[in-house]
C-alpha cells in the first residue's frame, strides 16, 4: 500500500526497552545509509526479525565496527 504507515505514529517512536524510546524513522534512515535495505531497516527499528541474510550481515558489520571503535578508546 503506497504511503502506508505515514502519519500513523509508528515513525515517531517505539519502545525497544523499558528505558529508551527509539525514533523508528530516524534509526531506519541511518541504517539505510550503512547498507541495510528499507525492509530490513524498518524491521530492525521496530524490533522485528530481519529476514534478509544480507541485511543481517550489514547489521553485524555495523555493530562489529562500532564495538571495535569503542574498544580502541
Span 11-51, pLDDT tens digits: 445 555 567 677 889 999 999 999 999 999 999 998 899 99
CA distances from 46 to 43, 62, 65, 73 (A): 5, 18, 22, 30
Taking the model in full, what pTM does it have? Answer: 0.68
Domain ranges of the chain: 14-71
Residues 6+ apart with CB under 8 A from 54: 37, 40
The number of beta carbons lying within 10 Å of the beta carbon of residue 23 is: 14
Tell which residue, 15, 41, 19, has the closest CA to residue 29.
Answer: 41
The predicted-structure confidence for 45-70, as pLDDT tens digits, reads as follows 988 999 999 999 999 999 999 999 99
Amino acid at each position: 500500500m503506497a504511503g502506508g504507515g505515514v502519519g500513523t505514529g509508528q515513525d515517531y517512536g517505539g519502545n525497544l526497552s523499558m528505558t529508551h524510546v527509539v525514533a523508528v524513522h530516524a534509526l531506519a534512515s541511518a541504517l539505510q545509509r550503512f547498507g541495510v535495505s528499507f525492509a530490513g531497516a524498518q524491521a530492525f527499528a521496530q524490533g522485528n526479525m530481519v529476514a534478509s541474510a544480507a541485511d543481517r550481515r550489514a547489521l553485524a558489520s555495523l555493530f562489529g565496527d562500532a564495538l571495535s571503535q569503542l574498544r580502541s578508546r
